[in-house]
Amino acid sequence: MTDAGNEDCIQCGRSFSESCNEKLIEQVMIKDLVTIHEDDTLDKVLEIFSKHHFHTYPVVNDNYELVGIIDQDVMLRILLVQRTPRLEHTHLAAVVSQGETAKNIMVPHPVSMSSDESLCEAADMMLKHKMDRVCVVDDGKLVGIMCKPDILNEIYELRGSE
């Protein structure tokens, strides 16, 4: 029985892990992003969620620097605050539920990676931290987002399958 991570690529003879380590995030990441500005109102944030149907949105400032993220869980907690389990009733939860702008409700300091890191490093980060996506930041600016399906599709292609 062979280890799938150590099998040789049919096309080039290299191992899949070598190919994965050579492929950079910038070659696979999504560059055409939908973002939320930190000063957007809650209504604007809800409109973005309704229009685009992504699970998570990066929050940026005027300089397009990543300052946070807002995901579906955050929005549900705000919209259904009265249904929040009693153990989650904290001062922070109360403050967030009263937030009027993205800056007030976002999760600050999201995990990010550089576009020159490898696809394998991105996969390792997502698995280690149980994340479905990671923001890509270069020189302090948001340049892309990498999702698990992007990695899966790329690895599938690296394996020589169609």
pLDDT digits (tens, 9 = 90+) for 62-92: 999 999 999 988 888 777 655 555 555 554 4
pLDDT tens figures, 11-66: 444 455 566 778 899 999 999 999 999 999 988 999 999 999 888 999 999 999 99
**Assigned token pair, 43:** 């209504």
pLDDT tier at 8, thresholds 50, 70, 90: very low
What is residue 13's DSSP assignment?
Answer: -
Q: Which positions ≥6 away from 81 have C-beta within 8 Å?
A: 93, 97
CA separation for the pair 54, 64 (Å, rounded): 19
Q: Assign residue 113 a region (left: φ > 0; alpha: ψ between -120 and 50; beta: otherwise).
A: beta
CB crowding 136-152: b at 16 or more within 10 Å, else e: bbeeeebbbbbbeebbe
For 70, the 3-state DSSP assignment is: strand
Of the given ranges (9-13, 48-52, 125-129, 143-147), which has the lowest mean pLDDT? 9-13
Q: What pTM does this model have? A: 0.76
Q: Which domains does the chain have, with CATH numbers?
A: 13-158 (3.10.580.10)
For residue 3, pLDDT beyond 90? no
Buried b (16+ CB within 10 A) or exposed e, 76-87: ebbeeeeebeee
Any idea what DSSP says for residue 138?
E
Lowest mean pLDDT, pick from 9-18, 71-80, 104-113, 153-162: 9-18
Q: What's residue 5's pLDDT?
A: 43
